[in-house]
Structure 1
Amino acid sequence: MASDQGKKQPGKPAPKTREDRLKAALKANMARRKAQTKARARAQTQPEDGQSNE
């Protein structure tokens, strides 16, 4: 309900601060970029004739 929006509810975790959200977003972004870099490096080392190592 509209009147319940500003009230804290017991049993639910407190909302993260802006700094915590930014820290989590940065960590996820860095992990994603690292995975992309690894995938690109793997793609460059695979044979060019379309065969994979699987």
Structure 2
Amino acid sequence: MTRRPGQDSSPQTREARLKAALRANLARRKAQGRARAQEAQDDMGQGASPQGVSAPQDAPGNED
């Protein structure tokens, strides 16, 4: 590995970068989880089955 001028490779800098990357990753994963939960909740409110597969419109019991 070659060093570039002006690049600080001290352990503290590396740890700070890793900590920031982990924090950003965690925030992104939490946002994805919230979005998926909201999407699942929206789907449940529209009459979809718990597996996410809706019943056919001409199925017995779907008389409006």
TM-score (norm 1): 0.62
Q: Which has the larger radius of gyration?
A: 2
Give 2:17's aligned amino acid. A
Where in structure 1 do 4 or more consecutive aligned residues deviate above 3 Å?
Answer: 11-15
Percent identity (aligned): 7
Which runs of no fewer than 5 residues in structure 1 stay unpaired? 1-7
Q: How many residues align?
A: 42
Query: Superposition RMSD on alpha carbons, in Å?
Result: 2.5
TM-score (norm 2): 0.53
User: Shift in Å at residue 18 of structure 1?
Assistant: 0.3
